[in-house]
Structure 1
Amino acid sequence: MVLLDSTIVGAALPDMQRRLDTGLTGLQWIVDAYVLLVAMLLLTGGVFADRFGRKRLFLAGVAVFTAASVLCSFAPSIGWLIAGRVAQGVGAAALGPASLALLAAAYPVPQERVRAIGLWAGFSGIGLAAGPVAGGILVDAFSWPAIFLVNAPIGAFLLVAGLRVLGESRNPGAPSIDVPGTVLSVLGVGAVTYGLIEGGSRGWASPVILASFAAGAALLAAFVAVEGRGRTPMLPLRLFRERLFTVSNTAMVVVGFALMGSAFFFSQFFVYVQGSSILRAGLQTLPTSAAMVVVSPYAGRLAARYGFRIVVTTGMALAGLGLLALGFAHADTGYGNVWWRLAVVGIGFGLTMSPLTGAAIQAVSPREGGLASGISSTTRQIGAVLGVAVLGAIVRSRQSGGASMEAGLDNAFRAAGAVTLACAVFTGLWLARSSPAETAAPQPVPPQGRPTEPSSTAR
């Protein structure tokens, strides 16, 4: 449900723009309001689940997410819709980590836990892939509110079933909640995001935009200072002393930036540039998510055989080339010459994400694996926030200069491709300087190993 909601909205953006009478700025906020809250509260949600109970936080997250979905579906204006998306992000940040922690606690034997988490990831992948198609069908039949209202029966079922089936678990030794770090991170990234999204319409030199960038920089500097001195920081800065951890998370920011930032415009390209219907556009964007779902399960095996560096560098290079190729698709380019570009993007990112998370986990001690996984997910979400904002600013700047929507989208896709290719080179060079032991895939836990209960930030 959470991952479905992250992709289903893309198919509905053209209908939202028409029915809510909003521009590109409003569409950016509809996406980023959700992703921003998920990114900034994901680690905190894991700590909350460990301290106050995984079942309790899971059900609270389901309730908030479901109620927020209903609010979104009945939103009378763009402002109410954005408020609902903020609430959805809060619910998702609680629901996601708690769901995985409940699963891990229910299967203490490592082999059974691996299979259970594999199913968890598989269902998540189905939600990711089904989003564009489901969005196109629902919007075509009922208009955009239906994409949110579909969460209501799912959420109601989860609440009833969760109350009856789930057992409570918690971690008595969980760290305390980093309230200052959480607040500063939300406000800092939010201020920078505001400047990036609103700068195109208000003017990059306007006092409000300059003030937002200055406030964002100050808040993020304060966040780094707090995290460096705190006893239980949500983001331990010492982890970034490990080259592999720093490189993998830097690359994950770029993955989120390029993937989410470009996916934001996929449906708009087919609707506004090529004249497709919303339903057809939803189907036309499917090759990217479908390729990711098919390739992702094999990425870890490839990394185990050939190492992180080769698989990650190859994946990012493919994704970058696919995005660059997409930047040369035009209004008269037939779909037979477009779908493979989307598929190459999906294959590339499918090869990249799992090994990058594995590299981040490999770089830290075993007891911090859950934290490393949570940080990897958070950096990807931060990249997604920035991708929607920055690529949207590129499109808007081209349009304000008199260029067509097609030219703006071409520039955005090419920029995303160039950034991804540059990161492929950077990642390959830096990982090449690491020892083979650092970049080797982690070995599975032996059967006789003592099972440990991972933190709920593992995602």
Structure 2
Amino acid sequence: MTASHPDGGRLPNRAVLLTTTCLGQFMVLLDNTIVGAALPDMQRRLHTGLTGLQWIVDAYVLLVAMLLLAGGVFADRFGRKRVYLAGVAVFTAASVLCSLAPSVGWLAAGRVLQGIGAAALSPASLALLAAAHPAPRERVRAIGLWAGLSGIGLAAGPVAGGVLTEAFGWPAVFLVNLPIGAALLLVGLRSLDESRNPAAPAIDVPGTVLSALGVGALTYGLIEGGARGWTSPVILGSLAAAALLLAAFTAVEARRPAPMLPLGLFRQRLFTVSHTAMTVVGFALMGSTFFFSQFFVHVQGSSVLGAGLRTLPTSLAMVAVSPYAGRLAARYGFRPVVTTGLVLAGLGLLALGAVHAGTGYGNVWWRLAVVGAGFALTLSPLTGAAIQAVGPQEGGLASGVSGATRQIGAVLGVAVLGAVVRARQADGASFGAGLDTAFTTAGAVTLATAVLTGLWLTRSAAVPAHPAEPVAGKPASGSRRTASTP
């Protein structure tokens, strides 16, 4: 398989590539949701409180957010196959360490290592796929399949976590990664072809360090702000440090001849608007889904496993719609598909803002499905737009930026919507009423972003079928970048 010479004779290798990259991302997404179902068992067996449970989740989120951008750049520079398989190896080994952890501290340390592996694995998997599909229309379709198939991990997580924890205890939710990781390493070493960006500059050490520390300080402040209070000296110091570090990162990148993140990319409307929208998608999607299970458990009195089953319409709708999102974007362009998706998701969230303790499930599940279908129409086209803006040879960079913005949006969503719930409770409202306000807030933000994408995402009617065809707002392929070679 070579990115520069795609042909029918190499389709079997492309099938292996799609399966391998999807399965790797599946493992990462599964880990995002499967752990939540095991938290009550962890709390009981590891004798920890809410703060310990938060860090079991947040240690992973923090490291992924810090290192996703660097992981994408490393993939372009050192080889996507190499970085992908290294990420798989670290993630799998860390999963085993997590399963053996005797305390919360050791488990959080294992989650840190998992985050490092995921930050390498995730952008490299998408960069491998982008490099193998240089024709824009094929690439958008492939990204749609990647998003849809790997998204099964989101759907499987709550149910699989509940079943495994019920049968074997919390360590099983980490051990499930062992056979997946071993299979990926075996198949990947034998079947994947290497690709890299031959024009990639040397690693920008100051930029890498400043970006990781800046995003890390921002993420830490957002994670802890709700618990410590937004006016806490620790939080204010963390957010101030983030502002200074990210300002220093911008200043350094503006002066370097070969920066890790060329700031000129943000002058491209496609790049800037797609990443702004991706941040909001992370905010609304993860911020709202964080509360779905809590609604069923604490408002409607469901069991943990029952809550996981009841949230499935969102995940299943995403899995069903995501592959078609790529095809629709390839045919009609990014703007109508993304904007339609945001409108659907926003309306679905507003509808969820009207549910209450006595609302029957028959009147809830379709609202969850509308939210899932709406966001499914946005994720792969926005990722495709980000890669389209830079070209497949810099797919690692684009997927790293896309993942980082989505991750920061997710952390911001949980923090802000959590603050909305607490503020409503402080005013005397019930937890359920607070959730209604949070869902309504997420819906309003999503609909406002639909206006942004409808006006500014791109003027092009459709994605070009061949790499030589120009995209509106950027020069024809090959005008300033070198094509990727294996």
Q: Same fold (TM over 0.5)?
A: yes
In structure 1, C-alpha distance between the alignment counterparts of 2:221 and 2:142, rounded to whole Å: 42
In structure 1, C-alpha distance between the alignment counterparts of 2:294 and 2:464, rounded to whole Å: 43
Please name the residue that 1:350 is paired with: 376
Please name the residue that 2:455 is paired with: 429
Q: 1:401 to 1:196 in 2, by over 3 A?
A: farther
Please name the residue that 2:282 is paired with: 256
The one of 141, 144, 147 equivalent to 2:170 is 144
**Deviation at 1:239?**
0.9
The one of 434, 445, 463 equivalent to 1:442 is 463
In structure 2, C-alpha distance between the alignment counterparts of 1:70 and 1:200, rounded to whole Å: 31
The one of 342, 349, 360 equivalent to 1:323 is 349
The one of 67, 82, 105 equivalent to 1:56 is 82
Deviation track 1:322-368 (CA, whole Å, cap 9, x = no partner) reads 11222222222221111111101001101112222333344446755
Q: What are the equivalent positions in structure 2 for 1:161-180 lying under 5 Å apart? A: 161-166=187-192, 168=194, 170-180=196-206
- Checking the alignment, whether the CA contact within 8 Å between 1:24 and 1:392 is kept in structure 2 is no
* Alignment of 1:11 onto 2:32: no
Q: Which moved more, 1:147-156 or 1:18-27?
A: 18-27
* Alignment of 1:297 onto 2:323: yes
* Alignment of 1:283 onto 2:304: no
**Deviation at 1:426?**
2.6
**Deviation at 1:420?**
1.1
**Deviation at 1:319?**
0.8
Q: 1:196 to 1:372 in 2, by over 3 A?
A: closer
The one of 155, 158, 166 equivalent to 2:181 is 155
In structure 1, C-alpha distance between the alignment counterparts of 2:451 and 2:353, rounded to whole Å: 20
For 1:442, give the aligned amino acid. V
In structure 1, C-alpha distance between the alignment counterparts of 2:43 and 2:129, rounded to whole Å: 39
The one of 294, 313, 327 equivalent to 2:339 is 313
- Checking the alignment, whether the CA contact within 8 Å between 1:197 and 1:392 is kept in structure 2 is no
Q: Which runs of 5+ in 1 are unaligned?
A: none
**Deviation at 1:209?**
2.0
Q: What are the equivalent positions in structure 2 for 1:9-158 lying under 5 Å apart? A: 9-16=35-42, 20=46, 26-102=52-128, 120-158=146-184
Q: 1:78 to 1:412 in 2, by over 3 A?
A: farther
**Deviation at 1:287?**
0.8
Q: Which moved more, 1:89-98 or 1:280-289?
A: 89-98
Deviation track 1:292-344 (CA, whole Å, cap 9, x = no partner) reads 11112222333345443332222112111211222222222221111111101
- Checking the alignment, whether the CA contact within 8 Å between 1:44 and 1:177 is kept in structure 2 is no
Deviation track 1:230-265 (CA, whole Å, cap 9, x = no partner) reads 222222211111223211211110001111111222
Please name the residue that 1:241 is paired with: 267
**Deviation at 1:110?**
9.4
* Alignment of 1:411 onto 2:437: yes
Q: Which moved more, 1:25-34 or 1:339-348?
A: 25-34
**Deviation at 1:20?**
5.0
**Deviation at 1:419?**
1.4
In structure 1, C-alpha distance between the alignment counterparts of 2:336 and 2:65, rounded to whole Å: 28
In structure 2, C-alpha distance between the alignment counterparts of 1:43 and 1:334, rounded to whole Å: 43
Q: 1:153 to 1:193 in 2, by over 3 A?
A: same
Q: Which moved more, 1:368-377 or 1:191-200?
A: 368-377
The one of 200, 203, 221 equivalent to 2:229 is 203
In structure 1, C-alpha distance between the alignment counterparts of 2:336 and 2:135, rounded to whole Å: 32
In structure 1, C-alpha distance between the alignment counterparts of 2:391 and 2:121, rounded to whole Å: 26
Q: Which moved more, 1:73-82 or 1:225-234?
A: 73-82
- Checking the alignment, whether the CA contact within 8 Å between 2:147 and 2:323 is kept in structure 1 is no
**Deviation at 1:67?**
1.8
In structure 1, C-alpha distance between the alignment counterparts of 2:374 and 2:396, rounded to whole Å: 25
The one of 215, 223, 232 equivalent to 1:189 is 215
In structure 1, C-alpha distance between the alignment counterparts of 2:463 and 2:141, rounded to whole Å: 17
**Deviation at 1:114?**
8.2
Q: Which moved more, 1:56-65 or 1:354-363?
A: 354-363
In structure 1, C-alpha distance between the alignment counterparts of 2:183 and 2:68, rounded to whole Å: 24
**Deviation at 1:58?**
2.9
- Checking the alignment, whether the CA contact within 8 Å between 1:197 and 1:390 is kept in structure 2 is no
For 1:443, give the aligned amino acid. P
- Checking the alignment, whether the CA contact within 8 Å between 1:135 and 1:147 is kept in structure 2 is yes
For 1:183, give the aligned amino acid. V
In structure 1, C-alpha distance between the alignment counterparts of 2:235 and 2:136, rounded to whole Å: 50
Could you state the TM-score of these two structures normalised by the residue count of structure 2? Answer: 0.81
* Alignment of 1:229 onto 2:250: no
How many corresponding residue pairs?
450
The one of 221, 229, 239 equivalent to 1:213 is 239
Please name the residue that 2:8 is paired with: none
In structure 1, C-alpha distance between the alignment counterparts of 2:63 and 2:485, rounded to whole Å: 20
Q: Which runs of 5+ in 2 are unaligned?
A: 1-26, 470-476
For 1:197, give the aligned amino acid. I
**Deviation at 1:117?**
6.4
For 1:423, give the aligned amino acid. T
- Checking the alignment, whether the CA contact within 8 Å between 2:342 and 2:447 is kept in structure 1 is yes
Q: 1:144 to 1:455 in 2, by over 3 A?
A: farther
In structure 2, C-alpha distance between the alignment counterparts of 1:455 and 1:331, rounded to whole Å: 57
In structure 2, C-alpha distance between the alignment counterparts of 1:242 and 1:171, rounded to whole Å: 21
Q: Which moved more, 1:349-358 or 1:373-382?
A: 373-382
Deviation track 1:189-233 (CA, whole Å, cap 9, x = no partner) reads 222232333233333322222212211211121122122222222
Please name the residue that 2:20 is paired with: none
Q: What are the equivalent positions in structure 2 for 1:339-418 lying under 5 Å apart? A: 339-364=365-390, 368=394, 371-399=397-425, 403-418=429-444
For 1:151, give the aligned amino acid. N
